[in-house]
């Protein structure tokens, strides 16, 4: 022992020796960790590429490049398995039975919880409906469900219809205007959906359709989404969690702060207008007095931020995908037009209820969900500490997993 100590003492007398010793120690730790992950980890029996099971790097690279669905699809095809290990402590499921085990009530089984390492929390540190634990999620949902009830949807329909009419009128103007019908429909769909969600959430449109450009707040929303992806990637590395604030680009960090500041200001402004307006906030405010089913002010802010992100870009993405595939398949387009033309003789007959009764239209929208999903990742969950079975296979406690349908990754 004394000889070893003497060797280390003499070694550190040379310039740079301490740095080299630190680097060597770190590399040795990483190698040992990789060996453990590959051969000794509780998930070592599940199929998966060695590089991916040894380190989170392959998963993160696929995520930040926007290629995660393609990467996952390739893994499931390569290993010809419905269960693949995609990182040191994470599994990917594409078995339909997994959905029942994960999301259905099973007597004697504890519920699976969201993986907060992946989702994170809003800037105010308060859970939204997306990340809340089981009990808080149930409480929040009792209140928020009122904003999306059939009655609330009927009351909100005139607001939505007004923006749809505005979109159609302006597209007609594009057809006869200088652009001669050559338009970027992705932008137009985004402008419409952001205007709708702004009006329903805060009682104020973003005026994107009017100006034919993104409102500054919308730009911060896109930046916020990038920030969420970036933070989710960094959270997979323990050391990066501590230096995360220094890794986020200043521009993205500022967009996150601006988005939160705008959300807070607009929610407070909307709350002052009471409950007479047919939007998301009125039903929530009306039913937010029950002690067992109410939202605190901070929770209302977190969920409002969720509304504006989830209810805008995702809808525009689905509309864009549907339009693209209809244009690529003219026979399908003709069949859909025939169904719509035969169902309505005037625009006044077109309502949310009447279009819901068009089976071929609904089939087209569902097919878009299948081949062009809005979400690129499954819902990251964790197994309870005691462990549990998924698809009759035992999965150790603390393991993360995502459950995909085949449409998500193929």
- Residue with the two structure tokens 């969950």: 381
| Residue 104 lies inside a defined structural domain of this protein | yes
| CATH (domain of 235) | 1.10.630.10
Q: Are residues 152 and 64 in the same domain?
A: no
CA distances (Å), origin 235, targets 150, 261, 404: 39, 24, 22
Q: Are residues 110 and 163 in the same domain?
A: no
3-state secondary structure of 223: helix
Whole-number Å distance between alpha carbons of 158 and 199: 12
| Residue 342 lies inside a defined structural domain of this protein | no
Q: Which helix (H) or strand (E) holds 175?
A: helix 150-176
Q: Are residues 90 and 231 in the same domain?
A: no
3-state secondary structure of 400: strand
| Residue 251 lies inside a defined structural domain of this protein | yes
* CB burial of residue 345 (10 Å; 0-12, 13-18, 19+): exposed
Whole-number Å distance between alpha carbons of 360 and 377: 28
Q: Are residues 94 and 168 in the same domain?
A: no
First to last CA, the chain: 58
Name the residue among 49, 95, 408, 376 with its Cα closest to residue 225. Answer: 376
Q: Are residues 63 and 189 in the same domain?
A: no
Q: What is the pTM of this model?
A: 0.80
Q: Are residues 222 and 306 in the same domain?
A: yes
Q: Are residues 296 and 390 in the same domain?
A: no
The pLDDT value recorded for residue 410 is 47
The pLDDT value recorded for residue 79 is 95
**Boundary of a domain, candidates 286, 308, 328:** 328
Q: What is the pLDDT tens value at each position of the chain, 410 positions in all?
A: 455 555 455 555 555 566 776 777 778 878 888 899 999 999 999 999 999 999 999 998 888 887 888 899 899 999 999 999 999 999 999 888 888 888 888 888 888 888 877 776 777 888 888 888 888 888 999 999 999 998 999 999 999 999 999 999 999 888 877 777 788 999 999 999 999 999 999 988 999 999 999 888 777 777 767 777 777 777 777 776 666 667 667 777 777 788 788 888 989 999 888 878 899 999 999 888 876 778 888 999 999 888 887 888 889 999 999 999 999 999 999 999 999 999 999 988 999 999 999 999 999 999 998 788 787 667 788 999 999 999 999 999 999 988 876 544 44
On the CB side of 396, CA atoms within 13 Å amount to 11
| Residue 373 lies inside a defined structural domain of this protein | no
Q: Which domain holds residue 296?
A: 140-328
| Residue 94 lies inside a defined structural domain of this protein | yes
Q: Are residues 290 and 182 in the same domain?
A: yes
- Strands of 400-403's sheet, edge to edge? 83-87, 90-93, 400-403, 381-382, 113-114
CA angle 124, 127, 130 (to 5 degrees): 125
| Residue 337 lies inside a defined structural domain of this protein | no
Q: Are residues 111 and 162 in the same domain?
A: no
Q: Are residues 65 and 205 in the same domain?
A: no
* CB burial of residue 205 (10 Å; 0-12, 13-18, 19+): buried
Q: Are residues 107 and 202 in the same domain?
A: no
The pLDDT value recorded for residue 5 is 57
| Residue 312 lies inside a defined structural domain of this protein | yes
Whole-number Å distance between alpha carbons of 230 and 22: 28
Query: How many independent structural domains does the chain possess?
Result: 2
Whole-number Å distance between alpha carbons of 86 and 73: 11
**Boundary of a domain, candidates 328, 346, 363:** 328
Evaluate whether 67 touches 55 at the Cβ level (below 8 Å).
no
| Residue 235 lies inside a defined structural domain of this protein | yes
Q: Are residues 252 and 157 in the same domain?
A: yes
């Amino acid at each position: 022992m004394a000889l070893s100590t003497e060797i280390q003492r003499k070694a550190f007398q040379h310039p740079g020796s301490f740095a080299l010793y630190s680097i060597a120690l770190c590399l040795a730790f990483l190698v040992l960790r990789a060996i453990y992950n590959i051969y000794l980890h509780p998930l070592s029996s599940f199929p998966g590429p060695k590089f991916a099971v040894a380190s989170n790097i392959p998963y993160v690279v696929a995520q930040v490049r926007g290629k995660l669905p393609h990467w996952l699809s390739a893994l499931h095809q390569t290993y010809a398995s419905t269960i693949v290990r995609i990182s040191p402590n994470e599994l990917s499921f594409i078995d339909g039975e997994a959905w029942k085990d994960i999301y259905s009530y099973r007597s004697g089984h504890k519920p699976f919880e969201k993986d907060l390492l992946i989702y994170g929390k809003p800037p105010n540190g308060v859970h939204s409906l997306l990340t809340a634990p089981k009990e808080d999620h149930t409480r929040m949902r009792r209140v928020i469900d009122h904003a999306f009830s059939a009655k609330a949807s009927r009351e909100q329909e005139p607001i939505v219809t007004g923006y749809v009419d505005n979109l159609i009128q302006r597209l007609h103007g594009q057809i006869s205007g200088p652009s001669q019908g050559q338009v970027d429909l992705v932008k137009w769909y985004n402008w419409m959906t952001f205007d709708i969600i702004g009006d329903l959430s805060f009682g104020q449109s973003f005026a994107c359709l009017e100006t034919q450009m993104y409102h500054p707040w919308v730009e911060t929303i896109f930046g916020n989404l990038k920030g969420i992806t970036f933070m989710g990637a960094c959270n997979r590395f323990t050391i990066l969690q501590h230096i995360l604030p220094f890794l986020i680009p200043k521009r993205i960090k500022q967009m996150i702060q601006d988005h939160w500041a705008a959300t807070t200001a607009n929610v407070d402004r909307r709350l002052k207008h009471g409950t007479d307006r047919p939007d998301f906030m009125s039903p929530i405010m009306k039913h937010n007095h029950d002690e067992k089913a109410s939202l605190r002010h901070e929770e209302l802010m977190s969920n409002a931020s969720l509304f504006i992100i989830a209810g805008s870009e995702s809808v525009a993405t689905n509309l864009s995908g549907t339009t693209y595939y209809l244009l690529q398949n003219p026979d399908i387009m003709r069949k859909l037009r025939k169904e719509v033309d035969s169902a309505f003789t005037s625009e006044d007959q077109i309502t949310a209820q009447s279009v819901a009764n068009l089976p071929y239209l609904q089939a087209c929208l569902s097919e878009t969900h299948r081949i062009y999903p809005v979400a690129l990742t499954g819902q990251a969950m964790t197994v309870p500490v005691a462990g549990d079975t998924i698809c009759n296979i035992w999965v150790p406690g603390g393991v993360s997993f995502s459950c995909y349908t085949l449409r998500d990754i193929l």
